[in-house]
Amino acid sequence: MGSLKISPSTSTSSPKKNSRTLHDLFVQENPHFAIPCSPASGNEELLSAISYCTFVFTFTDPSESPAQRDSKRCHLSRLISILKSSKKPVHGKVLEPLVIMISANLFRPLPPPANPSAISDLAEEEDPISTFSPLWSHLQIVYEILLRLVNCQEHNILREYMDHSFLRNLLALFHSEDPRERESLKNVYHKIYSKFISDRSFMRKIMTDVLLNYVFETEKHPGVGDLLEIWGTIINGFTVPLKEEHKLFLMRVLIPLHKTKGMLVYHRQLAYCVSQFVQKEPMLGGVVVRGILKYWPVTNCQKEILLIGELEDLVENIDPDQYRKLSLPLCTQITKCINSWNSQVAERALYVWNNEQFVKMALIGTVEVFTVIVEGMEKNLKRHWSKNVRQLTESVKVMLAEMDPDLYSKGVMDMETKESMANQEDMKRKKRWEIIELEAAKNQFFNPQRYIRVSH
């Protein structure tokens, strides 16, 4: 799409040609601008305003005056006002320069990250990488114009000017650290996805590429949560049975997104996307649970708390036929969390036992599963430092013992047998070391170490 030169409309002639107004001085001093006066038609008024707004301010150049910036904002406001008041689609000869103006304002080099070495591990509301752009006073209206254009214009006409290159450039703007821009961008991009039916596959692909690059290359992208929010509405619209392409997205993109250091920032949106898949096809629950367990954090307690909650929600939608297969790995991980020295993790894991579906899954499991659970409970009661954790553990123990007294008693017996065998093995190991040390002492007594004297 080539650039289009637009000739600004000229002012109407005045009988007082020698009169110098502020308007004249402004135009003479700033040849980039031509302020239209009483254009002949609506299209001419639009073209004139578009011409004026195509020039982009940096907001960092000291030669740019605040008056010039305010004037452009007024023209942008007038432009969106004209578009909103018009009940007809934008005329063909106006559409191309309008898209060029939008592109000129939006598609610009983004500033470097405010803190390039920081990786966000905080909660969403504490995200430290948010930076407010000084350009927003102009960009806000440009996004409104773009959204108005997408809403009101026919897809087949708009598609001629918003090609794949335009969509790629739009997606790249999610790198902006200004949350206001990403919010507007999210609305526009989703609306385009809804309207550009023939381009949906392409739009999904380029979004997938961005997420894959984040997971396996950079782990730095401020707009992952916004992209996942778009994905959530897209996944919600998938038909059942799911296509293989969509299942691969779940396994190759969404599940690995659980392993990144910045997961806390976008976990809410990620969990929603995953739950949508499992609700549509409960058989996918096994794949998701095993994937989350695979990427379970070792030292990040905040991530553990979030993942425990996600697993609890998934159990609600998993196909019950998979309970027997998942009960051992799932209960083993929850039990490890129950024994965590971090009291918040331990308490969150204990609260999982309030979930009827989780209890049902655990009881469906084999004796081996129950042995693991009982061992974790008894270990907490004997050794955990937190009084609250011990009290919660006692409550869960009472509940489990009442539900199946024989199975719980057998679990305690198995645990005691296991501990007894471990103690015996430990005693044997100590005796073997004592024999080795004794033999080593004898060898040293009968064969004293000889030192070789070295003459100098």
Q: What is the DSSP string of 400-429?
A: HHHH-HHHHHHHHHHHHHHHHHHHHHHHHH
- Lowest-confidence region among 35-49, 175-189, 217-231, 368-382: 35-49
For the chain, give the percent of residues with pLDDT over 70.
85
Buried residues in 300-329 as b, exposed as e (16+ CB within 10 A):
ebbbbbbbbebbbbbbebbeeebbeebbee
Query: How far apart are the C-alpha atoms of 409 and 371, rounded to whole Å?
Result: 10
For the chain, give the percent of residues with pLDDT over 90.
55
How confident is the model over 334-384, as pLDDT tens digits?
A: 999 999 999 999 999 999 999 999 998 988 877 888 889 989 999 999 999
Does position 304 have pLDDT exceeding 90, yes or no? yes
For residue 11, give the DSSP letter. P
Does position 149 have pLDDT exceeding 50, yes or no? yes
Neighbours of 90 (CB within 10 A): 22
How confident is the model over 115-124, as pLDDT tens digits?
A: 654 444 444 4
CA dist 277 → 110, 114, 191, 271, 280 (Å) = 34, 36, 22, 10, 5
Residue found by looking up tokens 């998938």 in the block? 238
List the Cα angle 390/396/400 in 5-degree steps: 140
Query: pLDDT averaged over the chain?
Result: 84
Find the mean pLDDT for residues 162-179.
95
Q: Are 129 and 81 in contact (CB under 8 A)?
A: no
- pLDDT at position 297: 94
Q: SS3 string of 179-220?
A: HHHHHHHHHHHHHHHHHCHHHHHHHHHHHHHHHHHHHHHHCC
Say which residues have a Cβ less than 8 Å from residue 131's Cβ, sequence separation at least 6: 111, 114, 177, 178
Query: How far apart are the C-alpha atoms of 161 and 70, rounded to whole Å?
Result: 29
Q: What phi and psi, each to the nearest 5 degrees, are found at residue 365?
A: -65, 175
- pLDDT at position 405: 85
CA dist 139 → 68, 383, 410 (Å) = 15, 59, 68
Q: Are 274 and 314 in contact (CB under 8 A)?
A: yes
Query: How far apart are the C-alpha atoms of 128 and 118, rounded to whole Å?
Result: 8
Q: Are 263 and 295 in contact (CB under 8 A)?
A: no
Which DSSP string do the residues of 242-275 spell out, in sequence order? PPHHHHHHIIIIITGGGGSTTHHHHHHHHHHHHH
Query: How far apart are the C-alpha atoms of 412 and 378, rounded to whole Å?
Result: 8
- What dihedral angle (degrees, nearest 10) is formed by the CA atoms of 402, 405, 408, 410? 180
Local confidence band at 420 (pLDDT 50, 70, 90 cut-offs): confident
